[in-house]
Amino acid sequence: MRLFSGLSAFPLTPTDAAGHLQADVLGRFLERIQAAGADSIGLLGSTGGYAYLSREARQRAVRVAVECGGGKIPIIVGVGALRTDEAETLARDAKAAGADGLLLAPMSYTPLTDEEVFQHFSAVAEAGGLPLCIYNNPSTTKFTFGDDLIARLAKLPNVAAVKMPLPANGDFSGEMKRLRAITPDGFAIGYSGDWGAADALLAGCDAWYSVVAGLLPASALALTRAAQAGDGSKAARINDAFQPLWDLFRVFGSFRVMYVMADLLGLARIEPPRPILPLPQEARSRVEEALQTLKGTGSFIP
């Protein structure tokens, strides 16, 4: 299977209040993902809180992941940073530690132009020397990749994939047809936004970059495999079981919900990095209810 395909599971990056990595907890998350049979680990993505971590914490997280994976599961590492030279350094760090691929979002304070993003990606892709996925995540970066920019970036050496947000009109097939017409053969098109994953996979996308798979990898994999096999009824049944959780992801943000889930699943009692605050008790109760609903359907696989 190609690197940017199938189910890519994105774990939290557990840290203490000072931002130091809790390596044992990260290892616990990664072991579950590997044991479930996910196709790759998406380390230091948005779910992994990469923007809140020091270079040292990120280096250590990659080392832990590589040691834990033992070459049995590909590791895609997020290397986004505000400055191009910092992102280049992070890309070199990831390669040196044994990562298999890179994920890059155009972080910014000053809004970026298309040319600035192109030059940024060109420099980081060259520095990393690994297959790189374009991270199109306008909800956090406030930058949207247009078709022309994606087509231009896809011609760069090492740029091999794009991670897209869910299309506003829900037309996955149309969007993928359009993108495949302007990108090289083998360029992988995947989606994030867990609540749209079933539709994206059934429409033939290459990858689901999954938040929930960071904690419930086996359940997410069941959804992935059903959709990849074209079993729409099974995929819909599993997706319906997840629906209360998807609703909470949309209301509170999946990042916050995942920290509550880690606690409720008995995996770790950790808090998000400040200034992000833990969810209040009322919200925690709703997350617990959503997990109980998932368990009650038979689609929950611990």
Active-site entry in 50, 95, 135, 191: 135
Active-site entry in 50, 95, 163, 209: 163
52 flagged as catalytic: no
User: How would you class 18 by CB atoms within 10 Å of its CB: exposed for 0-12, middle for 13-18, buried for 19 or more?
Assistant: exposed
163 flagged as catalytic: yes
- H/E/C letters for each residue in 13-45? CCECCCCCECHHHHHHHHHHHHHHCCCEEEECC
Task: For residues 278 and 142, give the distance between their C-alpha atoms in angstroms, rounded to a whole number.
Answer: 24
Q: Which residues contact 51 (CB under 8 A, 6 or more apart)?
A: 80, 107
User: How would you class 184 by CB atoms within 10 Å of its CB: exposed for 0-12, middle for 13-18, buried for 19 or more?
Assistant: exposed
Is 47 marked as a binding-site residue? yes
Cβ neighbours, 10 Å, residue 231: 14
Catalytic machinery residues? 135, 163
* Annotated binding-site members: 47
* Annotated binding-site members for pyruvate: 47
